[in-house]
Structure 1
Amino acid sequence: MIHNRNFFLLCWFLLCLAYAGNIKAAPAPVAEHVIKSGFPMEADMLAEMTQSLFKEYKANDNPLSLVFYAYGTLRQADYFLKTNDFIRASEFGKTGFFYLDEAVDLYAENPLVRYMRARVDAYLPAAIGRCVVTLNDTEQMLKTPGIFNAGLVEHINEMRYRALLSCKRKKQADTLLAEIELRNASTASSLASGNAPEWDINEVTEVLLPLVKGK
């Protein structure tokens, strides 16, 4: 989510209006809800929304619904891990990663889906995340100039930094963080917290909105 909720909702409304001329109805309302409001914190509500995302994907073949389903499943795995239910944590973790990878395989021609996998993987707790996958994804994305604008490239570097930390490659992580800090000191500071950054307007317009509209 974005800190300034009213500003975000206004931008979302205006962006959706811009697409309305070509698309009569949103094909992924549950995924749109996740973009605007995030996942619920309560376990029961999280489980319900996650299942709704899977039903939405099955009905509409929307890549973002599938990615968010995988993300919701991984959030459930993290919940079970924190409550010491290791068997269910493992089951949900395997399912979440399976569908996250499935999304990239099914939509291999769409680099935005790979961006989303890296975005999810990079900010998962190190105990359940897959730093090697994120390193591979970010390397591949950084080697395709022109696909992502400068703002998204910065985010990709931030994901790579998180992956380097999780892979315990501290020297490389420190070098990359220093480069990030030269460009944006506040971003470097927030990266140290380990929390997933909220979607910014650039990600909304260039990644989320095209995916939720089935582009």
Structure 2
Amino acid sequence: MFRNSAVILAICLSLAVHGAAAARSGTPALEAVLQQGFPVQPEALSATTQALLHEYEQQKDIASLIFYSYGTLRMADHYAAVNDYVLASEYGKTGFFYLDEAADSHENTPQVRYLRARIDAYLPAKQGRCVIALADTDYLLKNRANFDSDILINILFMRYRALLSCGDTAGANTLLTQLKNRGPVAVKLLSLKSDASPAWDIGEITQIVVPLMKGE
């Protein structure tokens, strides 16, 4: 059974995505992922991921490319879980390549930089992506006028996790002190386990993903 909050979020996501779709058609694969999430079964996940790539090639919608990279990284996780490290490595390299391609080609688009940081900030330190997350969150903080207070807290938390991964304990502790005074949203994020990433929230969809779908 869904919790009430989950139902409300699903309704909000549906409304937000419907509004974006009305403004810009041609991204059914992306819209499906936003409303339903990525499939769990590997065959369906692979099909969805390829549909996102095809969608990007046809529509040049940068959000579709970013979510293609997300799906590819999920495929890497799947193959790592079944000990197929060759395919895991191939999918991982492909996923990060396209994630970086999206961000580097839209380096002055805060939403794109946010979506890359959303992945990199929560990766294990051994991945070595924390430096990229720090660069992206630094850019985002310099452009904080684009975001509301809750999204800003998300950015600060991503930076906090990236600092920890990069071994900057002093910097992380300084940011931790700031976060503890930022209210319930920050408290909820700080309650996450060290290897967990937060669930997507409606603000991320409406302020980050939907503007990209609209071509803003």
Q: Is the 8 A contact 1:158 1:191 kept in 2?
A: no
1:109 & 1:170 partners in 2: Cα distance?
29
Partners of 1:41 and 1:17 in 2: CA distance: 24
Secondary structure in 2 matching 1:191: coil
Task: Tell me how far apart the structure 1 counterparts of residues 80 and 69 of structure 2 sit (CA, whole Å).
Answer: 16
Q: How far, CA to CA, are the matches of 1:111 and 1:187 in structure 2?
A: 24
Asked if residue 122 in structure 1 is aligned to residue 115 in structure 2, the reply is: no
The 5 A counterparts of 1:50-65 are: 50-65=49-64
Q: Does the CA contact (< 8 Å) of 2:121 and 2:133 recur in 1?
A: yes
- SS of 1:195's equivalent in the other structure is coil
Query: How many equivalent pairs are there?
Result: 212
Contact 1:177–1:188 (8 Å) recurs in 2? no
CA distance in 2, matches of 1:124, 1:43: 21
Question: 1:127 and 1:38 mapped to 2: Cα distance?
Answer: 27
Tell me which residue corresponds to 1:105.
Answer: 104
**Residues 17 and 132 (structure 1), Cα distance of their counterparts in 2 relative to 1, 3 Å cut:** closer
> C-alpha root-mean-square deviation of aligned residues, in Å?
2.3
CA distance in 2, matches of 1:74, 1:175: 31
Moved more, 163-172 or 132-141: 163-172
Q: How does 1:17-96 map to 2 (within 5 A)?
A: 23=23, 26-96=25-95
* 1:200, distance to aligned residue in structure 2 (A): 1.6
Distance across 1 between alignment mates of 2:170 and 2:78: 31
TM-score by structure 2 length? 0.86
- Answering whether residue 134 of structure 2 is matched by residue 135 of structure 1, we say yes
Q: Take 1:99 and 1:142, find their aligned partners in 2: how far apart are those partners? A: 24
Q: 1:79 to 1:202 in 2, by over 3 A?
A: same
Structure 2 partner of 1:166: 165
Q: Which residue of 2 aligns with 1:147?
A: 146
Q: Counterpart of 1:199? A: 200
Consecutive unaligned residues of structure 1, counting only runs of 5 or more, are: none
Q: Which residues of structure 2 form unaligned runs of 5+? A: none
Aligned-pair distance for 1:138? 0.5
Question: Residue 3 and residue 33 in structure 1: after superposition, are their counterparts in 2 closer, same or farther (change >3 A)?
Answer: farther
Once the 2 structures are TM-superposed, how far is the Cα of residue 197 of structure 1 from its aligned partner? 1.4
Q: Structure 1 length as normaliser, TM-score? A: 0.87
121-130 or 163-172, which moves further after superposition? Answer: 121-130
- Kept after mapping to 2: 8 A contact 1:122/1:129: no
Letter in 2 for 1:29: P
Structure 1 residue 18 displacement after superposition: 5.1
Tell me how far 1:129 sits from its aligned partner. 5.8
Identity rate, percent: 44
Q: Give 1:118 shift.
A: 0.6
Aligned twin of 2:178: 179
Q: Secondary structure in 2 aligned to 1:146?
A: helix
Structure 1 segments of 4+ aligned residues over 4 angstroms from their partners:
16-20
User: What are the superposed Cα offsets for residues 150-209 of structure 1, whole Å, 9 maximum, x if unpaired?
Assistant: 221111111111212222323322332232122135324333343221222221211111
For the residues of structure 1 that align with 2:67 and 2:17, how far apart are their CA atoms?
A: 20
Deviates more, 1:77-86 or 1:153-162: 77-86
- 1:132 Cα shift? 0.7
